[in-house]
């Protein structure tokens, strides 16, 4: 999973040569073998590395503050989204929904790596949501829809239909 994600990220970043990855341990942590240095381990670490390699540092944030916020959501992705008990899904969605209430992207007004990795990581949850749940977490679905339509992001994941027109039944009697 993480490997396909990194593949999609490489394509998004326009990196010419695809890297070779392996995984490590029971949790299948991705490993990037580097010719001129030690191997890099961990999704966030490798993704941040790729972004710098592609000379797109703005995707990691333009200021120290923004970098910290991006970092925080990347960590959130690998700690919370990759490792939760079933009953926590609602809490995760509720909190994210509230966070996104006044934001376009996770780091505020600019698109960053946090959006990409959070989108990849939350896709399997959003896919499973019932219509009414999608409506309940409206800010999440709005953000999700936005990111999945962001040029070049989606790649390996199927699109999710998140909004629908509501048709009200006319009165009966």
Partner 1 sequence: MKLYIADGNPHCIKVLAALDLTGVKCDIETVSHEEKVVPHLSHPVLPVLLLPGGQHLFSPNSICQYLFDVSGQAATDATNQWLEWEATHLQPAVLQSLHMVALQGKRAEAAAVMKEPLNWLEQNLSKKNTPFLIAEAVSVADVVLWAALYPLISDSGFDAGELRTVHGWFDRVGDLAACQTAAHKVLHGKGVEALKTFLQKHPVTHHRDSPTNNTEAEDAEHVMTVEEIEEAAQVWSAGLKGSPASTERKHPILPQEGKRNVLLTSALPYVNNVPHLGNIIGCVLSADVFARYGRLRGWNLLFVCGTDEYGTATENKAREEGLTPQEICDKYHAIHAAIYQWFQIDFDFFGRTTTERQTEIAQDIFWRLHERDFLLEDTVEQLRCESCQRFLADRFVEGECPHCRYPEARGDQCDKCGRLINAVELRNPQCKVCKQTPVIRSSKHLFLNLPKLEDELEQWLNKSTSAGDWTGNAKHITRSWLRDGLKPRCITRDLQWGTPVPHEDFKEKVFYVWFDAPIGYLSITANYTDQWEKWWKNPQQVELYNFMAKDNVPFHSVVFPCSLLGAQDNYTLVNHLIATEYLNYEDTKFSKSRGVGVFGDMAKDTGIPSDVWRFYLLYLRPEGQDSAFSWSDMALKNNSELLNNLGNFINRAGMFVSKFFDGHVPEMLLNEDDKRLIAQVCWELKQYIQLLDKVRIRDALKCILNISRHGNQYIQVNEPWKKIKGGDGDRQRAGTVTGVSVNVACLLSAVLEPYMPTVSHTIREQLQAPPTCAGAMLQAAGTFICTLPAGHRIGTVSPLFQKLENEQIEALRKRFGGQQPEEESVKAKTPSSSSAAVETKPSAGAAQDASLNVNADPERAKQLTALVTEQGIKVRGLKTQKAEKSIIDEEVKKLLELKKQLSLAEGKNPEPAAQKGKKK
Which residues lie near partner 1 (CB under 8 A)? 27, 29, 40-45, 48-49, 64-65, 67-69, 71-72, 75-76, 78-79, 82-88, 90-91, 94-96, 98-99, 101, 108, 128, 130-132, 164-173
Nearest Cα neighbor of 121 from 150, 90, 80 is: 80
Token pair for residue 12? 């998004």
CB of 143 to partner 1, least distance (A): 13
Nearer of residues 89 and 157 to partner 1, judged by Cβ: 89
Element (H, E) at 31: strand 29-32
Give the number of other CB atoms < 10 A from CB of residue 111. Answer: 17
The least CB distance from residue 75 to partner 1, in Å, is: 5
Nearer to partner 1, 46 or 153 (CB): 46
For residue 102, the minimal CB distance to partner 1 (Å) is: 10
């Amino acid at each position: 999973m993480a490997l396909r994600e990194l593949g999609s990220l490489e394509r998004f970043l326009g990196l010419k040569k695809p890297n070779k990855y392996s995984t490590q341990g029971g949790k299948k942590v991705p490993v990037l073998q580097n010719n001129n240095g030690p191997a890099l381990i961990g999704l966030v670490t490798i993704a941040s590395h790729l972004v710098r390699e592609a000379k797109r540092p703005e995707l990691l944030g333009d200021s120290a503050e923004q970098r910290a916020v991006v970092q925080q959501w990347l960590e959130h992705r690998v700690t919370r989204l990759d490792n939760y008990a079933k009953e926590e899904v609602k809490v995760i969605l509720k909190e994210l929904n509230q966070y996104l209430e006044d934001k376009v992207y996770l780091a505020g007004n600019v698109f960053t790596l946090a959006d990409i990795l959070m989108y990849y990581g939350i896709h399997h949850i959003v896919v499973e949501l019932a219509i009414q749940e999608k409506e309940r977490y409206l800010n999440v679905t709005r953000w999700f829809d936005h990111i999945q339509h962001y040029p070049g992001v989606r790649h390996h994941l199927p699109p999710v239909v998140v909004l629908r027109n509501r048709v009200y039944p006319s009165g009966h009697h």
